[in-house]
Amino acid sequence: MKYCSECGSANLVRRSPGRDTHSRLVCADCDKIFYHNPRMIAGCIVEHDGKYLMCQRAITPRPGTWTLPAGFMECGEKVEEAAAREVWEETGARVEIIAPYSIFSVPQIDEVYIMFRAQLIEFTDEPGPETMEAKLLSPDEIPWDNIFYPAIKDILQRYIEEKARGTFGIYMGCSEDGTVHFMQ
Protein backbone atom coordinates (compact mmCIF):
# COMPACT_ATOMS: atom_id res chain seq x y z
CA MET A 1 0.00 0.00 0.00
CA LYS A 2 1.48 3.34 -1.10
CA TYR A 3 -1.21 5.93 -0.44
CA CYS A 4 -3.72 6.49 2.33
CA SER A 5 -7.18 5.42 1.10
CA GLU A 6 -8.74 8.10 3.32
CA CYS A 7 -6.80 11.27 2.38
CA GLY A 8 -4.44 10.18 -0.43
CA SER A 9 -1.28 11.00 1.53
CA ALA A 10 1.90 9.02 0.83
CA ASN A 11 3.04 9.64 4.38
CA LEU A 12 2.38 6.14 5.76
CA VAL A 13 4.32 5.01 8.82
CA ARG A 14 4.50 1.95 11.07
CA ARG A 15 3.71 2.48 14.72
CA SER A 16 1.68 1.21 17.66
CA PRO A 17 -1.25 3.59 17.98
CA GLY A 18 -2.41 4.35 21.55
CA ARG A 19 -2.52 1.23 23.72
CA ASP A 20 -2.46 -1.09 20.71
CA THR A 21 -0.23 -4.14 21.23
CA HIS A 22 0.66 -4.42 17.53
CA SER A 23 2.57 -2.25 15.13
CA ARG A 24 0.19 -0.86 12.47
CA LEU A 25 0.43 0.98 9.22
CA VAL A 26 -0.83 4.48 10.05
CA CYS A 27 -1.38 7.60 7.93
CA ALA A 28 0.78 10.30 9.54
CA ASP A 29 -1.44 13.01 8.03
CA CYS A 30 -5.00 11.91 8.91
CA ASP A 31 -4.21 9.24 11.57
CA LYS A 32 -6.17 6.56 9.73
CA ILE A 33 -5.06 3.12 10.99
CA PHE A 34 -4.82 0.29 8.47
CA TYR A 35 -5.50 -3.03 10.19
CA HIS A 36 -4.24 -6.25 8.66
CA ASN A 37 -6.01 -9.31 10.05
CA PRO A 38 -5.97 -13.07 9.33
CA ARG A 39 -8.13 -14.52 6.60
CA MET A 40 -10.82 -17.04 7.44
CA ILE A 41 -11.19 -20.26 5.46
CA ALA A 42 -14.26 -22.42 5.86
CA GLY A 43 -14.86 -25.94 4.60
CA CYS A 44 -16.44 -29.31 5.25
CA ILE A 45 -15.77 -32.94 5.74
CA VAL A 46 -18.73 -34.65 4.10
CA GLU A 47 -19.16 -38.36 4.72
CA HIS A 48 -21.77 -40.39 2.87
CA ASP A 49 -22.13 -44.18 3.23
CA GLY A 50 -18.53 -44.48 4.43
CA LYS A 51 -17.18 -42.34 1.59
CA TYR A 52 -15.66 -38.88 1.80
CA LEU A 53 -16.26 -35.95 -0.52
CA MET A 54 -12.94 -34.78 -1.91
CA CYS A 55 -11.87 -32.57 -4.76
CA GLN A 56 -8.85 -32.49 -7.00
CA ARG A 57 -7.56 -28.96 -7.40
CA ALA A 58 -7.51 -27.49 -10.92
CA ILE A 59 -5.78 -24.26 -9.88
CA THR A 60 -2.64 -23.10 -8.13
CA PRO A 61 -1.34 -23.71 -5.57
CA ARG A 62 -0.70 -27.39 -6.18
CA PRO A 63 -3.00 -28.33 -9.08
CA GLY A 64 -3.68 -32.05 -9.26
CA THR A 65 -3.55 -32.61 -5.51
CA TRP A 66 -6.62 -33.71 -3.56
CA THR A 67 -8.18 -31.88 -0.66
CA LEU A 68 -11.38 -31.30 1.27
CA PRO A 69 -13.61 -28.56 -0.14
CA ALA A 70 -12.83 -25.23 1.58
CA GLY A 71 -12.28 -21.61 0.69
CA PHE A 72 -12.24 -18.00 1.78
CA MET A 73 -15.18 -16.66 3.69
CA GLU A 74 -16.95 -13.65 2.13
CA CYS A 75 -18.11 -10.53 3.97
CA GLY A 76 -21.76 -10.73 4.99
CA GLU A 77 -21.67 -14.52 5.43
CA LYS A 78 -21.93 -16.71 8.46
CA VAL A 79 -18.95 -19.05 8.62
CA GLU A 80 -21.14 -22.14 8.27
CA GLU A 81 -22.80 -20.60 5.19
CA ALA A 82 -19.35 -20.02 3.73
CA ALA A 83 -18.43 -23.66 4.34
CA ALA A 84 -21.57 -24.97 2.60
CA ARG A 85 -21.13 -22.51 -0.30
CA GLU A 86 -17.53 -23.59 -0.83
CA VAL A 87 -18.61 -27.23 -0.95
CA TRP A 88 -21.23 -26.32 -3.56
CA GLU A 89 -18.80 -24.25 -5.66
CA GLU A 90 -15.96 -26.75 -5.54
CA THR A 91 -17.81 -30.07 -5.77
CA GLY A 92 -21.37 -29.41 -6.95
CA ALA A 93 -22.71 -31.01 -3.76
CA ARG A 94 -25.36 -29.51 -1.52
CA VAL A 95 -24.77 -30.16 2.14
CA GLU A 96 -26.25 -29.46 5.53
CA ILE A 97 -23.83 -28.44 8.28
CA ILE A 98 -23.85 -30.68 11.37
CA ALA A 99 -21.21 -29.24 13.74
CA PRO A 100 -17.73 -27.70 13.92
CA TYR A 101 -14.99 -30.31 13.58
CA SER A 102 -11.64 -28.59 13.35
CA ILE A 103 -10.61 -25.03 14.17
CA PHE A 104 -6.98 -24.41 13.42
CA SER A 105 -4.79 -21.38 12.96
CA VAL A 106 -1.83 -21.11 10.60
CA PRO A 107 -0.08 -18.04 12.03
CA GLN A 108 2.85 -18.38 9.60
CA ILE A 109 0.53 -17.38 6.74
CA ASP A 110 -2.12 -15.51 8.75
CA GLU A 111 -4.97 -17.90 8.05
CA VAL A 112 -7.62 -19.50 10.25
CA TYR A 113 -9.48 -22.62 9.13
CA ILE A 114 -12.86 -23.72 10.40
CA MET A 115 -13.88 -27.14 9.10
CA PHE A 116 -17.36 -28.52 9.74
CA ARG A 117 -18.91 -31.96 9.62
CA ALA A 118 -21.67 -31.90 7.04
CA GLN A 119 -24.27 -34.21 5.62
CA LEU A 120 -24.73 -34.73 1.89
CA ILE A 121 -28.10 -33.60 0.56
CA GLU A 122 -27.49 -33.79 -3.19
CA PHE A 123 -24.44 -34.52 -5.35
CA THR A 124 -24.91 -33.01 -8.80
CA ASP A 125 -21.47 -33.95 -10.13
CA GLU A 126 -20.97 -30.44 -11.53
CA PRO A 127 -17.79 -29.19 -9.88
CA GLY A 128 -16.80 -25.56 -10.36
CA PRO A 129 -13.81 -24.26 -12.38
CA GLU A 130 -11.42 -24.54 -9.42
CA THR A 131 -11.89 -28.31 -9.38
CA MET A 132 -10.69 -30.96 -11.84
CA GLU A 133 -12.76 -33.68 -10.27
CA ALA A 134 -14.97 -34.13 -7.21
CA LYS A 135 -15.57 -37.62 -5.86
CA LEU A 136 -16.88 -39.59 -2.93
CA LEU A 137 -13.97 -41.83 -1.94
CA SER A 138 -13.77 -44.70 0.51
CA PRO A 139 -10.77 -44.68 2.89
CA ASP A 140 -8.86 -47.13 0.68
CA GLU A 141 -9.60 -45.05 -2.45
CA ILE A 142 -8.40 -41.77 -0.92
CA PRO A 143 -5.12 -40.73 -2.61
CA TRP A 144 -3.36 -40.30 0.73
CA ASP A 145 0.01 -39.55 -0.89
CA ASN A 146 -1.51 -36.85 -3.08
CA ILE A 147 -3.06 -34.71 -0.34
CA PHE A 148 -0.76 -31.72 -0.07
CA TYR A 149 -1.82 -30.27 3.28
CA PRO A 150 -0.92 -32.47 6.29
CA ALA A 151 -3.71 -30.79 8.32
CA ILE A 152 -6.31 -31.99 5.78
CA LYS A 153 -4.90 -35.52 5.91
CA ASP A 154 -5.07 -35.35 9.73
CA ILE A 155 -8.73 -34.31 9.64
CA LEU A 156 -9.65 -37.23 7.37
CA GLN A 157 -7.69 -39.78 9.41
CA ARG A 158 -9.16 -38.55 12.69
CA TYR A 159 -12.70 -38.60 11.29
CA ILE A 160 -12.30 -42.18 10.05
CA GLU A 161 -11.01 -43.27 13.50
CA GLU A 162 -13.67 -41.37 15.42
CA LYS A 163 -16.45 -42.67 13.22
CA ALA A 164 -15.29 -46.23 13.98
CA ARG A 165 -15.38 -45.38 17.71
CA GLY A 166 -18.75 -43.67 17.37
CA THR A 167 -17.80 -40.32 18.91
CA PHE A 168 -16.63 -37.10 17.30
CA GLY A 169 -14.38 -34.50 18.92
CA ILE A 170 -13.52 -30.94 17.99
CA TYR A 171 -9.91 -30.07 17.22
CA MET A 172 -8.48 -26.73 18.27
CA GLY A 173 -4.93 -25.52 17.79
CA CYS A 174 -2.42 -24.94 15.02
CA SER A 175 -2.21 -26.98 11.85
CA GLU A 176 0.47 -29.27 13.35
CA ASP A 177 -0.13 -29.03 17.09
CA GLY A 178 -3.42 -28.95 18.95
CA THR A 179 -5.93 -30.79 21.10
CA VAL A 180 -9.07 -32.76 20.31
CA HIS A 181 -11.90 -31.88 22.69
CA PHE A 182 -14.69 -34.36 23.38
CA MET A 183 -18.03 -33.38 24.88
CA GLN A 184 -18.80 -35.02 28.23
Q: Is 10 in the site for Zn ion (CB under 5 A)?
A: no
Q: Please, which residue, 7 or 99, has the CB nearer to Zn ion?
A: 7
Q: Please, which residue, 27 or 134, has the CB nearer to Zn ion?
A: 27
Q: Is 13 in the site for Zn ion (CB under 5 A)?
A: no
CA distance 139 to 75: 35
Q: Please, which residue, 30 or 59, has the CB nearer to Zn ion?
A: 30
Minimal distance in Å, beta carbon 30 to Zn ion?
3
**What would the DSSP string read from start to end of 61-104?**
SSTT-EE--EEEPPTT--HHHHHHHHHHHHHSEEEEEEEEEEEE
Closest CA relative to residue 83, chosen from 56, 126, 112: 112
Q: How many CB atoms lie within 10 A of CB 54?
A: 25
Q: Please, which residue, 11 or 138, has the CB nearer to Zn ion?
A: 11
User: Of 26-45, which residues contact Zn ion (CB under 5 A)?
Assistant: 27, 29-30, 32
Q: Among residues 4, 53, 87, 115, which is the contact residue for Zn ion, using CB under 5 A?
A: 4
Q: How many CB atoms lie within 10 A of CB 122?
A: 9
Q: Please, which residue, 13 or 59, has the CB nearer to Zn ion?
A: 13
SS3 annotation, 109-164: HCEEEEEEEEEEEEECCCCCCCEEEEEEECCCCCCHHHECCHHHHHHHHHHHHHHH
Number of chain positions touching Zn ion (CB under 5 A) = 8
Q: Is 9 in the site for Zn ion (CB under 5 A)?
A: yes
Minimal distance in Å, beta carbon 6 to Zn ion?
4
Q: Is 6 in the site for Zn ion (CB under 5 A)?
A: yes
Minimal distance in Å, beta carbon 1 to Zn ion?
11
Closest CA relative to residue 126, chosen from 80, 91, 153, 75: 91
Where do contacts with Zn ion occur on this chain (CB under 5 A)?
Answer: 4, 6-7, 9, 27, 29-30, 32
